[in-house]
Structure 1
């Protein structure tokens, strides 16, 4: 296994992603095979029925799955694919995505992500689940 970056370094990686900045995403936990990403639910992130847009949920799942994988294999990785199941409409004040590594191999890491919304009273409701595979690419010659 590779030395995994710490939370501060992972937050810098997230901050370097323009789309993550646009959404206002924050990495709140990172380590030991797990990662948590949060973002405030704003009106401009909602779809026509007033719920958080599914694309925002998919973004959060993808990024959180990959950050969780990074805790065990380091920063050199890419999403290979993921599936997401929307369980109920997402409505609240905060989206919280929590991912954990299920199995880490040399070239692939499988992770699971639970996506929940938090309402104004602090109650948390599971709204989607995702599973993904993260690829660990071969080092380029000379690196």
Structure 2
């Protein structure tokens, strides 16, 4: 894994910042390397659904990006999600959403990655809200 001053983490954050939607959400990469990636974002009221929980689409976004960033450590920087599934375990509430992804298997043509999505409260308590698994492929260059 890397530290905040690590060039790999800086590269990963620049890649995330190049995505307008990620900038809109205020997402940040907090760990990147060795088949793993962690993405975080603050849970804000404007990201809630009608019942006051973090919208499932935001949770799904975090899973998708964490999966691809983790896979990028194994396949290289140009990757695309081929598909993923997500299982919501409990409503996401708290201060921060954390998506921790890890490559389960990587070959030349694809990586299989799993991701735990946790919420963190003000006192630092983590609660598992969802789990995801996906397949990531190297992107074809034109």
TM-score, structure 2 as length reference: 0.93
Runs of at least 4 residues of structure 1 off by over 6 A?
none
TM-superposed deviation, 1:91: 0.3
> 2:99 maps to which residue?
97
> 2:72 maps to which residue?
70
Q: Distance in 2 between matches of 1:45 and 1:139?
A: 34
For structure 2, the 5+ residue unaligned runs are: 1-6
User: Is the CA contact (8 Å cut-off) linking 2:75 and 2:110 kept in structure 1?
Assistant: no
> 2:4 maps to which residue?
none
TM-superposed deviation, 1:57: 0.3
Q: Distance in 1 between matches of 2:104 and 2:62?
A: 18
Q: Higher Cα Rg: structure 1 or 2? A: 1
TM-score, structure 1 as length reference: 0.92
Q: Distance in 1 between matches of 2:25 and 2:70?
A: 20
SS at match of 1:48: coil
Alignment RMSD: 1.1
User: Is the CA contact (8 Å cut-off) linking 1:83 and 1:131 kept in structure 2?
Assistant: yes
User: Is the CA contact (8 Å cut-off) linking 1:41 and 1:94 kept in structure 2?
Assistant: yes
> 1:127 maps to which residue?
129
Q: Distance in 2 between matches of 1:120 and 1:10?
A: 27
Q: Distance in 1 between matches of 2:20 and 2:140?
A: 26
